Chains A and B, each alone.
Chain A
Amino acid sequence: MFKNINESSKILLPISLNNIAYHKNGNQIISETSLTIKSKGITVIMGPNGSGKSVLVRLLHGLLVPTKGVIYYGKHPLKKSIRKKQAMVFQTPTLLKRTVLANMTFVNSIRGRIDLTYCKNILKLLSLEKFQSYPAQLLSAGEKQRLALARALILQPHILFLDEPTANLDPSSIHLIEQILKNVRESGVKIIFITHDIGQAKRIADDIIFINKGKILEYTNTSLFFQKPQNKETAAYLEGELIL
């Protein structure tokens, strides 16, 4: 189902943040920071509410421009051609005022000719095939989020960003999305995923970035993150004691 992009995705790695900072209206949202994400697989970003997770992902995806510093994908600074190889699923999905299938074909048409069979196959993969001719806006929250993921997958991205895509979903929807993301990972897609769900992070993450008050405090592999947090704030967050 997913085209194997293991080789071609290599050119977009590592993702390097060189002295990145982001300010808005005089407020420092992301403090000057440098980070290199070398690994393939799923990188989970964790942190309390308002810590800057969504802003960080928007910077990585090019929706926001850093006030300072440059983001590199491989050897190249983030530019339009790289952004076209990315896709993002937002916490609150923006669905077009069309049918489910029309949402898919619209996104498919942006990168080339419409492949109706492929659109339908992706919908089937996300158990949405029976809603093809249904108005997208009338789907339930879980179905909307699945459609948002389906639209992202149809772009065949090399890097997939997800901003809390499973927040407020029922366990079966969460399970389905996690399974699909694992399959997507196997095809070589780099996934950057925001979640608050510690259990979910343990299940799907290959490595974890921990951010608090706009500072990246930790970037380590999953087992180390949970077993030996490197700083007090991470430990406090995992204990449920960290409040922004």
Chain B
Amino acid sequence: MIISFDQDLFEILLLSMKINFISLMIACILGLPFGSALAVLRFPVRKTIIAISNALMSLPPVVVGLIVYLYLSRSGPLGWLELLYTPTAMIVAQVILITPIIISLTCQIIEDLQEDYREYFSSLVMPPQKAIKAYLYDARYSLVTVVLAGFGRAISEVGAVIIVGGNIDHLTRVMTTSISLETSKGNLALALALGIILLTISLSVNFLAAFFKNSAKRKAYV
């Protein structure tokens, strides 16, 4: 199926990549600066926010799926947007699941870097927004692991996306939901083909990240 470029299979693959990539991008845009700001800035509820974001890292996907479903369903507060059973709803659910991971891990990495930089940055009388940018830049190679963790969560997600996406053929069917469906139907060839692709993507991304980190280590950037 993979070698013969099966149309359905590649449609599923493309949609999966699109949803995962957009979700990850949005989660990174939100999570990286927020996590960094949490590490750098000092304000009264900071520790509470860190604790909450740590707790949200282990959010059960089906619960997120259910909450997003309730909000987006026709009778829900955002029902008028008519997003339920669309790729957008799947992206929303994915972002909710990935963002806390990005925030928490970013915060930890930047806090570690701060141990080295704090006094020097204080000596430079650096404005906080400039410090946040500098921390994000200097932790760039360590943050690859954070993005990878987010990617791992996104690519393996089934529970939330099946609830809000509905696993509709040619519309919201992605790799994980397809594997689940095709296995239950006994269509193991397609399920296996999708599984191989999923595994290949996951391994390739990990190898690529490891390559980047190793090259950064040689330059003592990590």
Query: Which residue numbers of A lie inside 8 Å of B, CB to CB?
Result: 61, 63, 80, 83-84, 87-88, 90, 94, 96-98, 106-107, 110, 135, 137-138, 155
Contacts and interface: CB of A to CB of B under 8 A. Distances in A.
A137 B120 contact: no
B123 A63 contact: yes
Contact of B138 (A83, A96, A138): A96
Contacts of A80: 125
B221 A135 contact: yes
B120 to A, nearest CB: 4
B126 A110 contact: yes
Give chain B's interface residue range (CB within 8 Å of chain A).
10 to 19
B119 A90 contact: yes
Contacts of A98: 137-138, 221
Contact of A83 (B119, B125, B130): B125
A118 B123 CA distance: 21
Q: Is the interface of A mostly helix, strand, loop or mixed?
A: mixed
B116 interface: yes
Given A110-B126, A138-B220, A94 B134 contact: no
B170 interface: no
B219 interface: yes
A94 B116 contact: yes
B123 A135 contact: no
B180 interface: no
Contact of A63 (B119, B130, B219): B119
Interface in B99-150: 116-117, 119-120, 122-126, 130, 134, 137-138
Q: Which 5 residue pairs of A and B lie closest in terms of their CB atoms, listed nearest first?
A: A137-B220, A94-B120, A135-B219, A97-B138, A97-B221
A155 B126 CA distance: 12
Nearest to A96: B138
Contact of B130 (A90, A97, A110, A137): A110
Contacts of B138: 96-98
Given A80-B125, A96-B138, A97-B138, 6 more contacts: A94-B117, A94-B120, A97-B221, A98-B221, A110-B130, A138-B220
Interface in B170-218: none
Contacts of B126: 110
Nearest to B216: A97
B42 to A, nearest CB: 15
Given A94-B117, A96-B134, A137-B220, A84 B125 contact: yes
A24 B125 CA distance: 23
27 contacts: A61-B123, A63-B119, A63-B122, A63-B123, A80-B125, A84-B125, A87-B123, A88-B123, A90-B120, A94-B116, A94-B117, A94-B119, A94-B120, A96-B117, A96-B134, A96-B138, A97-B138, A98-B138, A98-B221, A106-B134, A107-B124, A110-B124, A110-B126, A137-B220, A137-B221, A138-B219, A138-B220
